Homo-oligomer: A and B are copies of this chain.
Amino acid sequence: MPADTPPADALVAALDFSKGNGLVVAIAQDAKSGEILMVAHMNEQSLRETLARGEVVYWSRSRGLWHKGEQSGNVQRLASVRVDCDGDAVLLEVEQVGRAACHTGKRSCFFRRWDGARWVEEGEQVFDPAEVYGR
């Protein structure tokens, strides 16, 4: 890597977007508690925007470029980026503004746990989605 390679290029160079048809898996983890908040995808553009903004921008397979929290205000401030051994996933440590990552108003999108026979809802209900999204 040349010494004058811009940082974003050096970061992107470690990633392998080819296996996921241009996407890598992106996991958001609470920087303080270690709780997994959500998982989504990124393409190269969304990763570069994330680095430039310091807030997480995903690539939604249905909606395209997705600045998380743009509507609700619940943005994710980027604290650190890790990459896995084969470069097809990133682990983002974030500060979750508004304390909820999920559009349902739950803190984490993984609020359903299998108890061996059925799904049980857990996790803190931080906001009422009807108030935030007006639906």
Contact = CB atoms under 8 A, between A and B. Distances in A.
A91 to B, nearest CB: 5
A108 to B, nearest CB: 8
Contacts of A53: none
Interface in A58-112: 61-62, 80-86, 89, 91, 102-104, 106, 109-112
Given A10-B118, A36-B36, A91-B36, A85 B104 contact: yes
Contacts of A104: 85
A128 interface: no
- The copy count of this chain in the complex is 2
Interface in A1-60: 7, 10-11, 14, 19, 25, 27, 29, 34-36, 38-39
Interface residues of A, number: 38
Given A27-B36, A36-B91, A85 B102 contact: yes
A114 B80 contact: yes
A14 B83 contact: no
A14 B117 CA distance: 12
16 contacts: A10-B117, A10-B118, A11-B119, A19-B62, A27-B27, A34-B35, A38-B84, A39-B39, A80-B113, A81-B113, A82-B113, A84-B110, A85-B104, A85-B106, A89-B109, A91-B110
